[in-house]
Each structure stands twice: as C-alpha cells, then as structure tokens.
Amino acid sequence: MGSFWMTISYYNQQSVSKYNDILQRYLKLNETITASQDSITRLNDYLATPSSEKLDQYTISKNEMVRSKVSMLSLENQNNDAILQNYAHMLESQIETMDLAIMSYHRGKEDSMTEHFNESIRISQFISETTLSLLSAEVKSYETLYIQMIEQSANLRKLGGWALVTVFMILLIFSYWFSRGITRPISRLTLAAREIAQGKFDQKIEIHTKDEISFLAATFNQMRENIKELIMEIKKKAQLEKELQENQLLLRESELKSLQTQINPHFLFNTLNTLSKKAYLEGADETSELIATVAGLFRYNLRKLDRPVTLSDEVHVIENYFLILQARFSDRFSYQLDMDEECLDIKIPSLILQPFVENAFIHALEPLEEGGGIIVRAINKEDHVLVQIEDDGIGMSEEKIRAILDETPSTTTKVSGHSTGIGLNNAIRRLKLFYQSEDVITIDSALGKGTLVTLKLYKGKKIRREQLG
Amino acid sequence: MRRIVIALFLVGLLCAAFYTIYYMNTIYQTTSTSLSDLDVEATTYRVALISPELRNSYWNSVYEGAQTTAQEHDVTIHYWGSYRSNVEHILKNMEIAIASKVDGIIVMGIDDPGFLTLVNKATKKGIPVITISVDAPDTLRKAYVGSDHYHAGIVIGHQLAKAVNGQGKVGMIIGNESAGYLKQRLDGFIKGISRYPEVELVDVSPEDISSNQASLKTQEILNQHPNAKAFVGLSADDGAEIVKAIQKRSKVEDYYIYTFDDTQETLSLLKKGLIDGTLTHSPKQMGERSVSLIVQWLEGRELPLKTNHFTPIQLMTKGDEGNHENNSK
C-alpha cells in the first residue's frame, strides 16, 4: 500500500517537474526580451550622456544578451527549430548594430551612428514580436503534453480513489477472515459441548488451527473419550450386578425350595439312618439299602447349593435317584448310564442333572402304562462335555419345547409327588448363568417319539470367575 | 441472505480492483509517451518567402511549390507576408528576415526605393534575394523567376488583334505605368499588335479623369472613342473594372476584353463569357524554381545564376477553363 502511494506521488512529482520545465522555457524567453530592451536603453543612455560607467553598464547588458542567446538555443525542439534560429540571429544582429552604433559614435560619424542605433531599435522590436510567435510555437509543441498532464492528474485522482476503495475492501475481507478464524473454532467447540451435554459422545471435534483453541478441543476430545469409556464401564458393571443379583435370586429360590423340604433335616437324616440299620438288623437288606439311598439323597440336598460340584457327584445322585425309582416301579422303569470317564471331573453347578431326569420320568414315562427307560450319557468333546438325557416316553410337542427353552413359568414348576421341587427353569437359568452362555441346552423331541435333552457343559475359562454367593 | 451479501461484496471488490489496475495502466502508458526533445538534425537552410497576399490562391500555389522543393533539400520555408498588399509590411518582413540572417529571401518585386535599399542590404550581408512573379531589375537581386511579361504582352496582343479581325480601336487600361512589369506587358502588347496596323491603341490622358481607377478610365475611353470595340487590362483587377464600366452602358459580350492575370474574379468572368481571354501563370513552378535556385546558390553550384527564369504562361479563352489548374477553387 505504501509503495503504491509512493508511485502515485512520484508520477505527480514528474508532472510538476514537467510543468516546471515548460515554465522555465517561457522565463528564458522573457529574459531575452528584457535583456534586449535593457541594452537598448543602456545604449541610449550612453549615447545621450556618455560616461565610462554607462559604457560598462551597456556592456553588462550586452553580455546578458549574449548569455540569454546561448541559453535560448537549449530550448530547441521539433517545432520551433527554425524560428529559434531566426531569433538567435536577430539577437546577434541587434548586438552587431549596437556595437556599430558605438563604433560610429567613437569615430564621430553621427549619421551612421543614428542609422545603426535606429536599426538596433527596430531589431529589438522585431525580437519582441517574434517572441510571440516563439511562445505560440512552444504552446503548440507542448499542447498535447499539457492535455496529457491534465488527463494524467485526473487519472491519478481516479486511481487514488479506486485504490482506496480496493484497499478498503481487501482490508474488510482480511479482518473478516481473521475474526472468523477465531470465532469459528470457538463456535465449533460450543457445538460439541452442546452435543455432549445431550449425550452424544461419538462426534469427534476437528479443529486444526495451531493455537489455544485447538488445545482446548484436544482436551475436550479426551474428556469425551474418557466419559465414553467410563459410561461403558458403568454399564458393564451394572450388567454384572444385574446378573449377580439374578443368580443370587435363583439361588435363593432353590435354597428356599430345598429348605422347604428340610424340616429338621438332621433329625430326618438320623432317623433314616436308624431305620436303615434297624431294617438291616431285622434282615431286610434291600429295604436297608433303599433307606440308605434315600438318606444319601437327603444328604446331598442338605449341602450348600452354591458350590460347583463335579459331574461324577451329580451322576452319583442320579444313580441314587434311579435306584429309588427302580424300587418303586421295577418293571415299568429301566435306566442306563453311559459315561465317558475322562469328563467326569469337570465342574458343574449342583443339582443340574436331577431336574432333567425327574422331568423325563414324570412327564415322559409315568403317563405310559408300559413305562420306559432313561439313558444318560456323557460325551467328552474338546472344549465341552455333552450330557444327554434320553427317554423313550411320550415325547413333547413343539410348544412345550419352546416353553421350556423360553423358561416360561408353567407346569414344570408345579410341585407334585414325584419331584424334589427344583424346576427345570431354575436349572436352565443357573446353567446359563454359570456358563455365561445361552447355548447350554437343546431338546429334540416329537410326540410319541421320545425326548432327547442335550446339555452343553463347557470346560475351562468360560465359567464365572468368582464363586456365586 | 449471507451468500448474496458475500457475492455482492466480491463483485464490488473485483470492480474496484479492476478500475485500479485500469487506471494504473493508463497512467503508465501516458507517462512513457512524452514529448521528446528531439535531436535536431544539422541546421537546415532557412528561406523566407514573403508574399504580398497570404490568403491568395496564387501565392498559396507558390508556397506549395516552394515547400515541395524545400522538403527535398532540407530547407525550412518561412512564409511571411500580409493579408492585403501592404508595402510597408513587406518591407518590415524583409528587415526581419535580414535581421534573422536567413539563408535566402524570395520576394515579389516592388517598385519602391525602400525595397531597393533592403534588397541591396540583404545582398551585401550575403543573403541571396530572388524576385518572384514580378521583377525588380534595378536591385542586386540574384535572379527573377516568373512569367515573361513582355512575351505575355505579345501573346495577348496577337490574340486580341486576331479577335478584332485586324482592325479597330483597343482601349488600354493600365494602372501605374511606372511599374516595370506593366510596362513590359504594354511594350509586348504593342509589339503584338504591330503587325496589324489597323489596330489602334487608345488611351486617355490623366487630366481627363479624376482617378486612375480602371472603370473610370474605361468610361472615359468609351466617351471619347465610342466605337472602341476592345479593351485590354494590364493590371490584375482591371478585367472586373472594365466589365463593370461597360455593363453600365451596353452589352458586355459585344466587346473584346483581354486581361493578363488569372485571379479568381478574372477567371469567373471568363467563365461567364464576359471577358474573352486572359493568361494563366505557373505559380507552383515559380515556387519550386525559386527555392531550387536558392539552394543552388547556397551550395555554390554553377554560379553565377542565370538572371531570368521564365515560367510558362498559357492563354485562356472562353471554353478553356476546364484545363486550368486554379479553376477548381
């Protein structure tokens, strides 16, 4: 901007100096006339009343003329060349005639003195007149220049005005741009804050200016991420809590149920033992064994239910159960155990198998007049053990299968004379919780075709890390 | 809304920027073209052409011719003069020319003692003077370029004599008899009609007329010689005057009127058929010739110069007007 104004003033300066030059020329011309007229006057003075000072004065004047003649010639240009020559020569002529006049005077020739003097006067007049034509020649040659200069000044003014406007607008743009550069990140930050306040934690804020605002934005982002993580953690914990509570609830349920059957369990237990011994002493070995089995069942049920047990323990219990059933129903009931020895050590929640076996017996076999059989298998797979409870009973309908799998509280929880009371639902739910998986049970059945319940028991780390309870 | 504002703003900015650059450009352009103080070539010859009548088409032709030659030889012509023939003005211009120490003077000869003095003064100062159109043979002029007036007289004389069928009275109208060229014309004319002894030249004596005006003279001649059928006007505007005088009394067409010049008025009279013949001169050639003579003298070639350089003259009668170069003006 500064350099711009400098160029303008430079051009201005140029115009002024050109004007100056032209004026100088006019002044020079004027000087010449003055010199010419002056010398005539001085000469006249001298001739009228001669004295050496006057002669000197005349000489000074004359030299002035000579000087101005020389400076005149510097004014030469295209248009005035010839006229200028004439002019210069006229000055010469005047000087000559004046000198001749003086010479004649000194020789005492009055006539020729007067003649020459008059001639010099006339020449001086010619010079004045010619100056006019010289001036007009000057004006003509500089006419176009004058017009140009005036145009130039006008243009300069217009240029200045427009430059001002342009610069003004550019400044406006710049200041707008700068301020936007500052306010835009801030507004973005505000927007992001509002979004976070509304609970959306996923929008990442993008601010790339290298200043404090971007620092703010970065920390803001971090805060957002942290909040997101924390919320996730809280959610997870809440989930955990929920499951925990559910598990506890279930356990309580089963405990309660089992407690229902524990009316002074130790008294019953001891009484059964006594009865078993008495039967044995009276020679009823079978009865004694049966009573011992029942006692065993009771003992098993008395224990704490929340500890995981091994598969072999459960199988024992099943065996006891089967024994009892066989004693009651002899022909109508048969059973078979097909266990893979290696997998018996895995940990499973307690009282899992029994409900299924019970269920199989009550709903599948009992209704049949001829009865049926139950096969329990344990198949060792790589990462899990498949336990199958198969019966050849009446089977169950699709609806029933779905009802069981969906854990809808229905007839399975009805306490009847044949069940220890812990329902399928409970067992299934506990299985799911224990193994943290939904994929723990499948039921294959069709009406009249028997039922196959397959339990998937995972080995290893899928089990819940802490003990339930 | 915002977009509109931005768009307008941008347009405004572009406009402003454009104008700024436009004016910058204009200014830059104009400064580069400024008047160059030219390096003047070697001083050219300066020749003063002093004309008695500046606005005259005749003298314009002289100037034209002079300029043509001048440009070929690097000569600058100063065309000075007065708008109306004014002897004093011509003399003053000559003085200025001498004081300006021009390289040459071309001037029409004037019958005036002041003129004689000045021509001689110029010659003494080494400035060649050439007379043009009208000679001044008493002066120290170097040469004369123009029509041969004596010969012109002869031509007109012949023509008029033929026109009047070799007999009759011819009224003679002459201005200032002392003017050299007029005398030459008269002599020539007399020579021209000398072969026809029946042709008589008549004149009136100066006492009979109040002024020398051509029309008055004509009237007087007609008074004294009523059967004069022809008139010859020797000076420039005599033709018009003669016609004017005759028109007052009778039909002009019946008279044979001859003049010597080709002024606008004379030519139009010729066209109208009011005068019967005149002479045309060659002013352009005069201009050309005179300048080349000056140059010749300045360059010192083939000196001394031949004194008389006659330029062609042509007789023009009714019907010839189309051929004349000055006619179209």
Share of chain A above pLDDT 70, in %: 90
Q: Which of A82, A126, A152 sits opposite B78 (nearest CB)?
A: A82
- CA distance, residue A196 to nearest chain B CA (Å): 29
Residue B50 CA to residue B77 CA, distance in Å, equals 10
A77: confidence class by pLDDT, cuts 50, 70, 90: low
Distance spanning both ends of chain B, measured CA to CA? 74
Residue A462: the pLDDT is 46
pLDDT at A414 over 60: no
The reply to whether B16 touches chain A by the CB within 8 Å rule is yes
State ipTM.
Answer: 0.71
Residues of A in contact with B91 (CB under 8 A): none
Choose the weakest-confidence range: A142-151, B49-58, B184-193, B214-223. Answer: A142-151
Q: How confident is the model at residue B107 (pLDDT cuts 50, 70, 90)?
A: very high
**Are B54 and B81 in contact, with CB atoms under 8 Å apart?**
yes
Q: Does B234 touch chain A (CB under 8 A)?
A: no
Q: How confident is the model at residue B33 (pLDDT cuts 50, 70, 90)?
A: low
Distance from CA of A87 to the nearest CA of B (A): 6
Nearest to A204 by CA among A187, A190, A218, A185: A218
Rounded to an integer, what distance in angstroms lies between the CA atom of residue B179 and that of residue B278? 20
Q: Which chain A residue's Cα is nearest to B76? A: A82
Q: What span, in angstroms and rounded, lies between the C-alpha atoms of A291 and A272?
A: 6
The dihedral formed by the CA atoms of A216, A217, A219 and A222, expressed in degrees to the nearest 10: 170
CB B9 within 8 Å of CB A166: no
A22 vs B: CB within 8 A:
no
CA distance B329 to B176: 29
Question: Is residue A415 pLDDT above 50, yes or no?
Answer: no
d(CA A128, CA A153): 34
Chain B closest-CA separation from residue A242 CA (Å):
55
The model's pLDDT over B52-98, given as tens digits with 9 standing for 90+, comes to 888 788 888 999 999 999 888 888 898 888 777 788 888 999 999 99
Tell me whether B99 touches chain A (CB under 8 Å): yes
**Among A119-133, A170-184, A419-433, where is mean pLDDT lowest?**
A419-433
* Residues of chain B numbered 39-78 and touching chain A (CB < 8 Å): 40, 43-44, 46, 76, 78
Do the beta carbons of residue A288 and residue A276 sit within 8 Å?
yes
Mutation test of the interface with chain A: which of B9, B40, B105, choosing the one with the most A Cβ atoms within 10 A?
Answer: B40
* Nearest-CB residue to A11 (from B12, B20, B31): B31
> Does A18 reach chain B within 8 Å, measured CB to CB?
yes
Q: For chains A and B, what is the number of CB pairs under 8 angstroms?
A: 96
Is the model's pLDDT at B174 over the cut of 80? no
Q: How far is CA A23 from CA A28, A49, A272, B9, in A?
A: 9, 38, 148, 47
The residues, any chain, with a CB within 8 Å of residue B158's CB and separated by 6 or more, are B192, B193, B195
Between residues A8 and B116, the one the model is more confident about:
B116
Quick check: A159 and B99 CB within 8 A? no
Q: Do A158 and B40 touch (CB under 8 A)?
A: no
pLDDT (tens digit per residue) in A111-137: 888 888 888 889 988 888 888 877 787
Q: Which residues pair with A441 in a beta bridge?
A: A455
Pick from A16, A86, A132, A157 the residue to mutate for testing the B interface (most B CBs within 10 Å): A86
Query: Are A155 and B76 in contact (CB < 8 Å)?
Result: no
Q: How confident is the model at residue B211 (pLDDT cuts 50, 70, 90)?
A: low
Would strands A450-458 and B45-51 be described as parallel, antiparallel, or unpaired?
unpaired
B85 HSE (CA, 13 A, CB side): 7
Nearest CB partner across the interface for B100, out of A86, A166, A170: A86
Name residue B169's beta-bridge partners: B200
Residue B32 at interface with chain A, using a CB cutoff of 8 Å = no
Query: Which member of B16, B78, B98 has the closest CB to residue A165?
Result: B16
Which residues on chain A are in Cβ contact (under 8 Å) with B102? 86, 89
> Confidence band (pLDDT; 50, 70, 90) for A465?
very low
CA pair distance B106, B91, nearest whole angstrom: 13
The tokens describing B55, both together, are 């606005």
Structure tokens at B48: 């003063």
CB-based contact, A350 to chain B, within 8 Å: no
Predicted local confidence at residue B104, as pLDDT:
92
Amino acid letter at B302? Answer: E
A94 interface with B at CB cutoff 8 Å: yes
Give the Cβ contact number of residue B136 at 10 Å: 21
